[in-house]
Amino acid sequence: DVLDSALLRPGRFDRKITLDRPHKEARAAILAVHVRKVPLANDVDLDQLAARTIGFSGADLKNLVNEAALTAARESLHEVNAHCFELARDRIILGEERDTKLNPQEREAVAYHECGHAIMAYYMPNADPLTKLTIIPHGMAMGVTEQTPKEDHYTYTESYLKDRIKVMLGGRCSEKLIYGEVSTGAQNDLKEATALIRKMIGQWGMSEKIGPLGLNIGEEHVFLGREMGMPREFSEKMAEMIDGEIQSQLLALEKATLDFLTEHRNQLDALAKAVLKQETLSAEDVEEILRKEDARKIA
């Protein structure tokens, strides 16, 4: 992807080696190598840590151990415990915590936005499990709803991808439900949702209207002008059909998400109230709150 195609002509590179990111067992083995000289507390479970680091490369895992050791040193601990690894993992995945002072209205809006994501992640049957919900700013994000897959995945179903998009749209739909309008906070969510639905329709044939076509749609080209030199695979009419289908599917998924949050308004309010008070909620905290509201709804 990052080499000019001229460099890859036959005779120049006779061997091409594909390296996948390490699976769970490999991650545990890599962690074991990097912690050999690190004093670990008894509560550190490398297998559990490997399960919580899906998608990490070997370099990422080395960085995780180093960050955890630095965290322990900053807290004057003689051993690196599980909490140190959790903080290090958050720092790598979510970014550094920022001391950003939001006014009460903005803080509430962030809470409802993140709770919209969290509720969709919790209830959608094919979504990755919810891990954490926080309204503490990390990196460039004002709040974070974290999900962690149960296991390594190499292929994805259409139902999984649609639920994933619903989770992405949950923040925007929550804003629309509560305030009657949306904010700029959903910019990245919309960008990711649009890119994903474009691939679903154009590359993976996940549209009854467009059919089973695999086109070079949504692919990024590293070298400037490469896409200009490639022959176009479809007509202007097909391009219009694809654009229309992207818009149609996104609008349908947005409506389904908004309808779901409207139906679960009590859960949304209860979760927002809790995260405004505590700032960070674990998956267990979220489940407890939503189960209570579900029980009240049934009663």
Q: Which of 198, 246, 236 is nearest to 219 (CA)?
A: 198
Question: Model confidence over 123-155: pLDDT tens digits?
Answer: 999 999 999 999 988 877 888 898 988 888 788
Q: Are residues 171 and 226 in the same domain?
A: yes
How far apart are alpha carbons 222 and 229 in whole angstroms?
13
- Dihedral (C-alpha) 34, 36, 42, 44: value to the nearest 10 degrees? 10
Residue 99 lies in a domain: no
Number of structural domains (the chain) is 2
Q: Which of 267, 260, 275, 271 is nearest to 293 (CA)?
A: 267
Q: Are residues 47 and 156 in the same domain?
A: no
**Final residue before a domain boundary, out of 94, 117, 151:** 94
Residue 220 lies in a domain: yes
Q: Are residues 276 and 156 in the same domain?
A: yes
In this structure, how many other beta carbons lie within 10 angstroms of the beta carbon of residue 110?
25
Residue 278 lies in a domain: yes
**Final residue before a domain boundary, out of 94, 121, 140:** 94
Q: Calculate Rg over the CA atoms of the chain.
A: 22
Q: Are residues 74 and 112 in the same domain?
A: no
Range of the domain at 226: 104-298
List, run by run, the mean pLDDT of 10-residue segments along the chain (299 residues): 67 70 91 93 92 89 94 92 91 81 90 97 95 87 87 88 97 97 92 94 89 71 49 75 93 97 96 95 94 73
Q: Are residues 169 and 264 in the same domain?
A: yes
Residue 25 lies in a domain: yes
**Final residue before a domain boundary, out of 45, 70, 94:** 94
Question: Model confidence over 79-115: pLDDT tens digits?
Answer: 999 999 998 998 888 888 777 788 899 999 999 999 9
pLDDT at res. 98: 79
pLDDT at res. 148: 86
Q: Which of 194, 134, 185 is nearest to 164 (CA)?
A: 194
> Given 114, 146, 175, 245, which residue is catalytic?
114
Q: Is 146 marked active-site?
A: no
